[in-house]
């Protein structure tokens, strides 16, 4: 008998915004060579993994709608980030991004989307795909819109100051 995600025990999750939380926000990042990790970011992801939590990334990527880069660039950067995390035994269970923006210059991406934060679509999509214990899950973002998306999805949200992500995260996690 095949097991579905609903059959598995639910686990808590940490939802990470990308730019400004996992990496320095340089504006419209899409090249691996320009990514600078936030201090403690990789270690924070590993800490989440080590506790058995899901680790997710939810990121607005309006640069696609603005014609600055393509979805393939976003996916390639996420693949590179996953490879870098794997070097220390860390992983992201799913990367979600929203390429849409209502003022985009690329017609097919010029639209409002319930996946664009502050709307909760990326989070709710993940909640449908994975057996997440929402009561023990939370989001870390660097913008009020990140926290609005978390609230709209029924999650706690924490505003990250941009210093060391591991030090910020540790008090939010249960101690063994």
> What are residue 140's DSSP bridge partners?
16, 158
- Cβ-count burial of 175 within 10 angstroms (0-12 exposed, 13-18 middle, 19+ buried)? exposed
Query: In this structure, are residues 68 and 110 in contact, taking their beta carbons and an 8 Å threshold?
Result: no
Q: Which of 7, 19, 39, 146 is catalytic?
A: 19
Is 79 marked active-site?
A: no
Provide the token pair at 17.
């915004």
Is 125 marked active-site?
A: no
Longest C-alpha distance within the chain, in Å?
Answer: 51
Name residues whose C-beta falls within 8 Å of residue 57's C-beta, 6 or more positions apart in sequence: 15, 16, 17, 18, 22, 78, 92, 94, 95, 96, 97
Q: Got the DSSP string for 30-53?
A: --GGG--BPTTHHHHHHHHHHTT-
Q: Which of 17, 25, 79, 142 is catalytic?
A: 17
Give the catalytic positions in this structure: 17, 19
């Amino acid at each position: 008998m095949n097991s579905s995600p609903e059959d598995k025990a639910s686990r808590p999750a940490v939802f990470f915004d990308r730019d400004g939380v996992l990496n320095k926000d340089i504006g419209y990042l899409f090249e691996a060579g320009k990514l600078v990790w936030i201090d403690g970011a990789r270690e924070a992801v590993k800490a989440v993994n080590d506790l058995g939590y899901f680790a997710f990334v939810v990121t607005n990527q309006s640069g696609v709608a603005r014609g600055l880069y393509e979805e393939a660039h976003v996916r390639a950067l996420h693949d590179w980030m996953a490879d870098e995390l794997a070097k220390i035994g860390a992983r992201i269970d799913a990367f979600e991004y929203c390429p849409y923006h209502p003022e985009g210059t690329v017609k097919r991406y010029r639209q409002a989307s319930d996946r664009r934060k502050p709307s909760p679509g990326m989070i709710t999509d993940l909640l449908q795909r994975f057996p997440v214990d929402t009561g023990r899950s939370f989001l870390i973002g660097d913008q009020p819109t990140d926290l609005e998306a978390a609230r709209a999805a029924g999650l706690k949200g924490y505003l990250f100051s941009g210093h060391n992500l591991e030090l910020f995260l540790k008090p939010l996690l249960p101690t063994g």
